[in-house]
Chains A and B, each alone.
Chain A
């Protein structure tokens, strides 16, 4: 245990308050490649502690950067949080009690922690080199690479004391095909372990392929009817829907739903939030409040089964935390997702002939409570008799609740994009 954490705990134990301490320390290296050249490299360090104090049913919060402080500074830090608890009027619902934390494998890769910065820099150079190999006269490639390591812990006056560490790597590639009608393509992936150059090459290839499709794309004539959403487009729509499942939205009446059990999607749809999956970017053994990570079925065969909850809103709603308290040391916990998994179905939607939407943008202009959306189609295509005709610049419009209820089948093969895992889905939509 870090000595400042130890000192803080000893100071807090003398106060007549309930308390929770969250600390973290980490570093990250990241690299930006612009037009096949490594232009920006950086290495960042951060550390800090966030303290929540419960006093007389009220909550105070304060944070401090750094993990090495003298006793006097730490005493003042505690005093500040206690003082805020006295004036704050934020309702305090206690902190979670200790319970068994699951083992989640594959969250830490020593190779990322140990890699010298020079080697990470060389990897980024090689990534840029790979882009130079693949670029063409009218094709330019850019991208980024990032590596990071983080150690963190949470302790509270109910007896929770947990520590963990994790590593991460992310890679992105961006391709532009210049010309009278420029096309763009993008690929992003994140990992917990160090990836070889081939994986980075795959990212470039996927971005390039998408840019070529995009440059050949034209606007599609308006269409209404059955269409397939690729995982990226489905994720955009699910994001609008999910705002209704956050416990605070439910509690404050900003959600469409006040209880579970309602039919919200086609029978083929099962949606799960699961932080216990090994080796995934959204995984953790315990959440930001020390609640053990657990799998939560949000939608089961089309029926709404659960909301996303942290300890506070779980308590307000008379439910249990679903281990979805997300935070860093600067913030109090808020509700967020871990890994979102759309369970695979039975259909082979890879062979689907018809309208397929790959990517859309503008989700934040949608209205989560009414469910209405109109998003720009960044890329889609129509397949007819094996022939592929890309389109873009149309809008995909509809109501997210209707689109979800109209999902008639879910594909067999899942694709992972960061912490979102989903096959393609077949639904009904409108392209204008």
Chain B
């Protein structure tokens, strides 16, 4: 290690590199999946690799997963930086020396693989049932130990555990098929798994899949929609989160560029991205640029007050760095990414919200989404829904996606619920995949619904 530091210093001098950073990562992971009672995957692996980034007005990056090539990776990144000679600037800041470990009650590395196997088998058997034609359960954990150092003299050691477990069923009747699922996860240990009431959730998942078989497709057109906390999460992630990632602002790819300080949403709407929330799936202490992750208020009372940034975008836009440069792994360069994104609670009860809706939809559950940040159009899917007529919840509807324009939908929010839930772990793709969480309270807004009726 000492040797690599010295080597990097000498090479930086030789190639005239003004800044560099090195990440050496070791991930110990286990994955198990079972389908219809048949074990499908069981893998226990550890992997180590190095990623090196060097800056000379533009970035040079190199990575290797064979540690005998570590020095070569350092040299390659520096050579590329020398070749690149751009004129961008980055935030440097003071050196940081710290060991930051996200502590858990029961490390999953201490749990025998046999116990993990028992868990997936138990869940699988709970999912059995009439008209349930297919069931899947997946368990995964990973301990990421990372050593970060840079040319400023920072030396940061981080230890982040992540665990995720989820299951799905497919129900079939008279040629109709429907699937329903549930995922749990966090920066936690085995205690997360022990605290889940699997029999309860297995029953719920089966019941939902079966009732969806009889649900109709929703009507299509513009409707008032009440989103549940899970859907609020995916909505705010897609409709706002991606457009406030400052690399898209920098690249002329965000409809929210130049709008800091402007009112872009209704009063009363506050949106936060917070990697410091304890135990959440998108949490971390330091990002992959050696900057401490900070809670960021993106929208405060309807006004756009901040972007999520990294070393480069904070320098360019003159903003305080907030530690949102995240990489999928050692073989990837950090990009500006979200962590745990949510809408702060307001004052409305669900009953009060329902009373506001004459003809609309109550939509629940996250099926993911996508956004075109430049044009401001986004889409997101709900796993289930219900027709609302004159303030009352009526028939169940299925398979629905909604679409809208960022600026319109944020202004169309009419009510923010009072109960907050941030517990919907998932992954966000942007060329690279990183774990995130999101949520919020119930939200009442308008969107374009694409149903088949």
Residues on A lying within 8 angstroms of B by beta carbon are: 34-35, 37-48, 60-63, 65-68, 80, 84, 87-91, 117-118, 121, 140, 142, 174, 176, 178, 181-184, 214, 222, 248, 252-254, 256, 330, 332, 361-362, 364-367, 369-370, 372-376, 378, 392-399, 430, 432
Do A182 and B452 touch across chains, with their CB atoms under 8 A apart? Answer: no
> B70 → chain A, closest Cβ, in Å?
11
Q: A41-B61, A43-B80 are in contact. List 11 more A-B contacts (CB 8 A).
A: A34-B251, A41-B58, A42-B59, A47-B66, A61-B43, A89-B42, A182-B376, A372-B399, A373-B399, A378-B372, A378-B377
CB contact between A66 and one of B58, B66, B331, B377 (< 8 Å): that residue? B66
Q: Choose one: A253, A332, A432; the contact of B134 (CB below 8 Å).
A: A253
How many B residues touch A, CB cutoff 8 Å? Answer: 82
CA distance A114 to B36 in the complex (A): 49
Determine whether B353 belongs to the interface, using a CB cutoff of 8 Å to chain A.
no
Q: Are B401 and A362 in contact (CB under 8 A)?
A: yes
Q: Are A47 and B380 in contact (CB under 8 A)?
A: no
Say if the beta carbon of B65 comes within 8 Å of chain A: yes
Residue B347 at the A interface, CB < 8 A? no
- Most central of B49, B331, B452 by chain A CB within 10 Å: B452
* A373 CB, nearest partner CB in chain B, Å: 8
Interfacial chain B residues near A91, Cβ < 8 Å: 38-39
B interface SS class: strand
* Alpha-carbon distance A16/B38, docked complex (angstroms): 25
* In contact, A392 and B377 (Cβ under 8 angstroms): yes
How long is the Cα–Cα vector from A250 to B140 in the complex, in angstroms?
24
**CB of A338 to closest CB in B, whole Å:** 23
Q: Is the CB of B80 within 8 A of A89?
A: no
Chain B residues positioned under 8 Å from A43 (CB to CB): 61-62, 76-77, 80
**Closest CB in chain B relative to A140 CB, distance in Å:** 4
CA distance A121 to B36 in the complex (A): 50
A332: chain B residues at CB < 8 Å are 41, 43
Query: Which residues of the partner chain A approach B113 to less than 8 Å between Cβ atoms?
Result: 87
Name the A residues within 8 Å of B58 (CB-CB).
37-41
Contact B401 A366 (CB under 8 A): yes
Q: Is B35 an interface residue (CB 8 A)?
A: yes
Would B61 and A42 count as touching, CB distance under 8 A?
A: yes
Which residue of chain A lies nearest to B64 when distances are taken between CB atoms in the complex? A45
Query: CA A67 – CA B452 in complex, angstroms?
Result: 54
B133 touches A253 (CB 8 A): yes
Q: Is B36 a contact partner of A393 (Cβ separation < 8 A)?
A: no
Interface CB pairs A-B, < 8 A, 17: A39-B86, A65-B65, A65-B66, A66-B67, A90-B39, A117-B80, A142-B252, A248-B35, A361-B370, A364-B381, A365-B368, A370-B177, A370-B399, A372-B398, A393-B403, A393-B405, A397-B450
The chain A residue with its CB closest to the CB of B80 is A41
**How many Å lie between the Cα of A245 and that of B2 in the bound state?**
53
With both chains docked as a complex, state the minimum distance between the C-beta of B235 and any C-beta of chain A, in angstroms.
12
Q: Closest CB of chain A to B126's CB: distance in Å?
A: 17
Most chain A beta-carbon neighbours within 10 Å: one of B77, B114, B372, B376: B372
The chain B residue with its CB closest to the CB of A37 is B86
- For residue B10, CB closer than 8 A to chain A, the reply is no
Contact (A254, B134) CB under 8 Å given A90-B40, A397-B220: yes
Inter-chain contacts of A214 with B (CB < 8 A): 375
Q: Counting CB contacts under 8 A, is B48 at the interface?
A: yes
What are the residues of chain B within 8 A of A68 when measuring CB–CB? 66, 68
For the complex formed, measure the closest distance between the CB of B325 and the CB atoms of chain A, giving whole angstroms.
Answer: 13
Provide the residues of chain A in CB contact with B65, threshold 8 Å. 45-48, 65-66
* Interface contact B379-A63, CB-CB below 8 Å: no
Cβ of B47 and Cβ of A65 under 8 Å apart? yes
Residues of A within 8 A of B14 (CB): none
- Contact (Cβ within 8 A) A365 B367: yes
Interface residues in B1-39 (C-beta closer than 8 Å to A):
35-36, 38-39
Kindly identify which residue among B47, B63, B114 contacts A45, using a CB–CB cutoff of 8 Å: B63
B253 closest partner in A (C-beta): A176
Once bound together, how far apart are the Cα atoms of A430 and B453, in whole Å?
A: 10
Q: B51-81, CB under 8 A of A: which get 1 and which 0?
A: 0000000111111111111001100110110
Q: Which residues of B contact A364 (CB under 8 A)?
A: 367-368, 370, 381
Cα(A65)–Cα(B368), bound, Å: 33
CB distance from A47 to the nearest CB of B (A): 6
Q: Check B36–A367 contact: CB distance below 8 A.
A: no
Tell me whether A376 and B379 are in contact in the complex, defined as CB-CB below 8 angstroms, given that A40-B58, A252-B134, A432-B448 are known contacts: yes
Residues of A within 8 A of B255 (CB): 182
Any chain A CB within 8 A of the CB of B359? no
Partner pick for B83 among A118, A252, A430, CB 8 A cutoff: A118
Task: Tell yes or no: B374 within 8 A of A by CB.
Answer: yes
A372 touches B217 (CB 8 A): yes
Q: A62-B45, A253-B133 are in contact. Are A46 and B64 (CB under 8 A)?
A: yes
Residues in chain A near residue B94, CB distance under 8 A? none
Known: A45-B69, A65-B47, A68-B66. A183 touches B176 (CB 8 A): no
Interfacial residues of chain B within 434-453, with CB under 8 A of chain A in the complex: 448-452
> A398 near B370 (CB under 8 angstroms)?
no
Shortest C-beta distance, B299 to chain A (Å), equals 21
Residue contact A372 to B452, C-beta cutoff 8 Å:
yes
Partner of A432 from B77, B375, B450 at Cβ < 8 Å = B450
- Give the chain A neighbours of B399 by CB distance below 8 A: 366-367, 370, 372-374
Closest to B221 in A: A432
Question: Measured between alpha carbons, how far is A132 from B391 in the docked complex, in Å?
Answer: 56
> With A38-B86, A46-B331, A395-B403 in contact, is A65–B48 under 8 Å at CB?
yes
Q: CA separation between A361 and B77, bound complex, in Å?
A: 36
Asked whether A62 and B43 contact (CB < 8 A) given A45-B64, A366-B399, A376-B403, the answer is yes
Q: Is the CB of A398 within 8 A of B380?
A: no
Shortest CB-to-CB span from B42 to chain A, Å, is 5
Closest 9 CB pairs of A and B: A374-B450, A365-B381, A395-B450, A66-B66, A42-B61, A372-B399, A362-B379, A369-B177, A253-B133
Asked if residues B117 and A45 are in contact (CB atoms below 8 Å), the reply is no
Residues A184 and B375 in contact, CB atoms below 8 Å apart: yes
Q: How far is the CA of A125 from the CA of B445 in the complex (A)?
A: 46
B340 on interface, CB distance cutoff 8 Å:
no
Contact B80 A39 (CB under 8 A): no
B158 lies within 8 A of chain A by Cβ: no
Q: Is the CB of B179 within 8 A of A374?
A: no
